[in-house]
A = this chain, B = another copy of it.
Amino acid sequence: MGEQEKIRVLSVDDHPLLSEGIATIINSQPDMELISQASSGTEAIQRYREHQPDVTLMDLRLPDLSGIDAMIAIRTEFPEARIIMLTTFEGDVEIHRALQAGARAYLLKNMPPSEIVDVIRQVRAGKKRVPPEIAAQLAEHMGDDELTAREVEVLRKVAGGNRNRDIADLLFISEETVKVHVKHIMDKLGAKDRTQAIAIAVRRGIIEL
């Protein structure tokens, strides 16, 4: 394999320690080279424009934009961009959104380096790859209705310990409407009460605390 055929990788992560680890792993592969790094979403977009890497490793959680937004921005400009989401586990909502938005693979930060570089090679070859444990998570809630934006908004207020009456005042709607939203939320999440709804929503990554 000639030098000029090395896989050119861009890494985007705001954890310096992780970046360092990724750099070491990538550069220890004979067929890869890390051409640039970024530690924020806007920087990622700039670096992509500059280098147009073969594969981009992107953290989901970044200081400015979310990794998904950064990916969308890049893919709007470069629709063929091959981006791998690399993150600590964050519930299946974000995973689903990332794959919808065109991520070629979704990897966890605790995976062995061998698997990570393997996936980079596959993605560069045009394949997609989602590890089984994540695919299982996705399949688990495939048919589930997603919460609407309004429902998520209500859910956050619920998590704040607000009564229906208070939420109604905060959102300038009637208490009855809040009750309808809460009911729909519980139905969709399969929760027995509002408390479990919060627990489930946090696990799925629908809301953060």
Contact residues of A with B, CB < 8 Å? 14-25, 88, 109-113, 116, 158-163, 191-199, 202-203, 209
Contact = CB atoms under 8 A, between A and B. Distances in A.
Most chain B C-beta atoms within 10 Å of own C-beta, residue among A20, A192, A195, A202: A195
A111 to B, nearest CB: 8
A163 B194 CA distance: 11
A80 to B, nearest CB: 27
Copies in the complex: 2
> From DSSP, what is the main secondary structure of chain A's interface residues?
helix
Nearest to A91: B209
Given A20-B20, A112-B16, A161 B203 contact: no
Contacts of A109: 15, 17-18
A197 B202 CA distance: 14
Given A16-B112, A202-B209, A192 B161 contact: yes
Nearest to A156: B199
B16 A113 contact: yes
